[in-house]
Structure 1
Amino acid sequence: MEGDETISTEKENVIVDDIMRQIANQTLKPGTKLPSEYVLVEKYRVPRMTVRNALMKLEEQGIVYSKQGKGRYLKEESKHIDLHLTGKISFTDKMKQLGYDLTTKNVYCEEIPFDAKIYRILQAVEGDTIFKIGRLRYINGEPVAIHNSFVSETNFPVIGKDGPAIESMFAYYRQLGYEEFSSNKTLLSTTFPTVFEQELLACKSMVPLIVVESNCIDGKSEKLLEYTKILYRSDKFQYDITMD
């Protein structure tokens, strides 16, 4: 039984890989309707369920989509958003400089339970209160990123009250007299979205997210202001890692 499942999975991967090759060499172009399940069954000489599972994998990755009663289509080509992962300006300012239609929605401001990693980065001790402030970023009305800022109440005593209204942390800090910002560490990794993140970003479970973790430091006093964890939809951006 286990051997049959392995063979089935291997055949599904063959179909997925072949379709991906056709996309790469542009045999299949954006917006193209894929062959029917029946045609693919005949082509690959596999059971219909194997074909269906392969197509579902491509749907989960956001590569194809279904139209009710019409079949499956290759996703239309979209222009990727330029994103500079280094520098000293906010995401909001970067997007405005590049001319994108950016809007932001504050989606939560909540006290977090003790997390050793976050507390260590923020130089906090157990018993301190840390708030997570999440903003959902939209480009042209489409959700593309979740920005999480972790801020200590010790440094900002009214952050719990102010947090639900914050759309830009840099703008908030400027109101408090901070003008220059820097970061001395940035980490880049990938992950897949949780169910909650899928809902926020309107994406499937297998669409990879680019995770950028960094800190924000006041350029003058070198005071640590926050720890930041940003989740970007990998299918919406092209990433510039050129140093300033």
Structure 2
Amino acid sequence: METIHIPTDQAARIIDDMMQKIMMKSFEPGAKLPSENALAEEYRVPRATVRNALTKLEERGYIYSKQGKGRYLKEESIQIELHLTGKISFTDKMKRLGYDLKTRNIYCEKISYDAKIYQLLQVKQGEDVYKIGRMRYIQNEPIALHNSFVSTARFPMVAEDGPHITSMFSYYRQHGYKEFDSHKTLLSTTFPTLYEQELLSCNSMVPLIIVESDCIDLNSKKVLEHTKILYRSDRFKYDITSV
């Protein structure tokens, strides 16, 4: 058997090699991986080093364990092509792509004063701002958490209406706003908190893509909301082409 040289950080090199094999489809989705003993022999390292590498791959969401049976490569998951720009809602984007999207309202809560959000919404300190959270599911799998920040100055009944809203655009249309635009879109990344891991059914090492933007009424130029969306990075391909 050919000897594989593992430089300094042995576990990291095993991770890199196995990641390359996963990307190259050397393992079939759902396939059982070689045992810790077999991999320790292949890489000429202690079994503990292999276990450490496999644990990291599991934390990243590429493999999973079955007690007493071993580790397996996860089945191929949905990869949704998402256009991050444009003037239509997330719901409409998913419908146009043919996905069975479900939305669940999970909270409507008044936030403490936040200078940045208040400034973006063009409201004064002392006025109320509510955060409305909706979970997005495709094929019954949680894929995104949408947070919309809306002021009572613009929508006086949002505290009562908020717990029932699943589509913000539909809510705005009910109040006479028909066409929408976004002022600025910011993209960043983070790792999920424990609460977000539970909501999105992901591990701590699965990065989240954060998209922040403002929704503006196209005719009056009024800021209707500030939006902060957390997308599971392993479920989307992002199209940033201008349209």
Q: CA separation in 2, counterparts of 1:107 and 1:28?
A: 38
Q: CA separation in 1, counterparts of 2:158 and 2:186?
A: 25
Residue 241 of structure 1 and its aligned partner are, at CA, apart by 1.4
Q: How does 1:1-244 map to 2 (within 5 A)?
A: 10-244=9-243
Q: CA separation in 2, counterparts of 1:204 and 1:239?
A: 21
Contact 1:111–1:132, Cα closer than 8 Å, also in 2? yes
Residue 30 of structure 1 and its aligned partner are, at CA, apart by 2.1
Residue 222 of structure 1 and its aligned partner are, at CA, apart by 0.3
**Cα 1:21–1:242, aligned 2, differ >3 Å: closer, same or farther?**
same
Q: CA separation in 1, counterparts of 2:21 and 2:199?
A: 31
Residue 124 of structure 1 and its aligned partner are, at CA, apart by 2.6
1:144-201 Cα deviation digits (max 9, x unpaired): 0000000111111111111000000000000001000000200111111111111111
Residue 8 of structure 1 and its aligned partner are, at CA, apart by 11
Q: What is the letter of the counterpart of residue 118 of structure 1?
A: I
Residue 91 of structure 1 and its aligned partner are, at CA, apart by 0.5
1:181-228 Cα deviation digits (max 9, x unpaired): 000200111111111111111111111111110000001100000000
Q: What is the letter of the counterpart of residue 152 of structure 1?
A: S
SS in structure 2 at match of 1:228: strand
Q: CA separation in 1, counterparts of 2:241 and 2:223?
A: 25
Q: CA separation in 1, counterparts of 2:155 and 2:52?
A: 51
Q: CA separation in 2, counterparts of 1:119 and 1:108?
A: 20
Show structure 1 runs of 5+ residues with no match.
1-6
Percent pairwise identity: 67
Q: What is the letter of the counterpart of residue 30 of structure 1?
A: P
Residue 31 of structure 1 and its aligned partner are, at CA, apart by 2.0
Show structure 2 runs of 5+ residues with no match.
1-5
Residue 68 of structure 1 and its aligned partner are, at CA, apart by 2.2
Contact 2:7–2:13, Cα closer than 8 Å, also in 1? no
Query: How many residues in Structure 1 have an aligned counterpart in Structure 2?
Result: 238
Q: Could you tell me the TM-score, scaled by structure 1's length?
A: 0.93
Residue 29 of structure 1 and its aligned partner are, at CA, apart by 2.9
Query: Which region of structure 1 is more displaced relative to structure 2, 153-162 or 73-82?
Result: 73-82
Contact 1:146–1:230, Cα closer than 8 Å, also in 2? yes
Q: Could you tell me the TM-score, scaled by structure 2's length?
A: 0.93
Residue 37 of structure 1 and its aligned partner are, at CA, apart by 1.0
Aligned Cα root-mean-square deviation (Å): 1.7
Q: CA separation in 2, counterparts of 1:146 and 1:182?
A: 21
**Cα 1:238–1:179, aligned 2, differ >3 Å: closer, same or farther?**
same
Counterpart position of 2:3: none
Query: Which region of structure 1 is more displaced relative to structure 2, 113-122 or 218-227?
Result: 113-122
SS in structure 1 at match of 2:57: helix
Q: CA separation in 2, counterparts of 1:108 and 1:211?
A: 19
Contact 1:8–1:50, Cα closer than 8 Å, also in 2? no
Q: What is the letter of the counterpart of residue 170 of structure 1?
A: F
Residue 44 of structure 1 and its aligned partner are, at CA, apart by 2.4
